[in-house]
């Protein structure tokens, strides 16, 4: 008995195999929701930040994040806490995240707000994000040094780690209260 493949099966197989794989945006939380998660009982006020070219250069040097910081997504609390939204590239797409900075200049927490990549989403897990809590601008904040990697999400881990370092350097250079 001779098997003759159905041409419809072949055409369908080729169509499925050549179809593009699309990443679907996963919005975890809005900026307002992230504020409430990081600072549940604090009133935050919008605070636009304009950075000098020198500060931007220092942030880039410390973190390797190339695109300029967008200072219109920054909020401040009366007690000196800060809530800052930023973006970094994952592998191919942007990851939007928020960093909460406590009045003593350490990371209160981070929240992943939007993740578009088709894999590597484990960076949104609390167990990975909690590694940043308590870090300040003087800490290394380096992947595989004091922040653990997630297998299969290496670029997202690296870029988010660099992004948090960038925010902490920015805080230290531009937002930290000047000692008298």
Distance CA 172, CA 168 (A): 6
pLDDT of amino acid 23: 47
**Residue 168 binned pLDDT confidence (cut-offs 50, 70, 90):** very high
Average pLDDT over every residue of 25-40 = 94
Among residues 92, 108, 119, 123, the alpha carbon closest in space to that of 28 is found at: 123
Distance CA 144, CA 157 (A): 10
Average pLDDT over every residue of 89-108 = 96
Among residues 142, 131, 134, the alpha carbon closest in space to that of 165 is found at: 142
């Amino acid at each position: 008995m001779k098997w003759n493949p159905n041409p419809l099966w072949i055409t369908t197989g080729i169509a499925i195999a050549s179809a593009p794989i699309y990443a679907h945006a996963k919005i975890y939380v809005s900026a307002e929701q992230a504020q409430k998660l990081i600072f549940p009982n604090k009133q935050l006020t919008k605070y636009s930040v304009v950075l000098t070219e020198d500060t931007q250069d220092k942030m880039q040097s410390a973190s390797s994040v190339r695109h300029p910081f967008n200072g219109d997504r920054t909020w401040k609390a009366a007690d000196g806490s800060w809530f800052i939204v930023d973006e970094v590239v994952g592998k191919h797409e942007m990851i939007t995240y928020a960093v909460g900075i406590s009045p003593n200049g350490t990371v209160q927490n981070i929240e992943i707000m939007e993740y578009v990549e088709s894999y590597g989403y484990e960076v949104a897990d609390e167990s990975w994000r909690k590694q940043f809590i308590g870090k300040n601008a003087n800490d290394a904040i380096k992947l595989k040094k004091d922040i653990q990697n997630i297998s299969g999400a290496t670029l997202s881990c690296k870029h988010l780690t660099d992004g948090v370092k960038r925010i902490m350097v920015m805080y230290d250079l531009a937002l930290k209260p000047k000692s008298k």
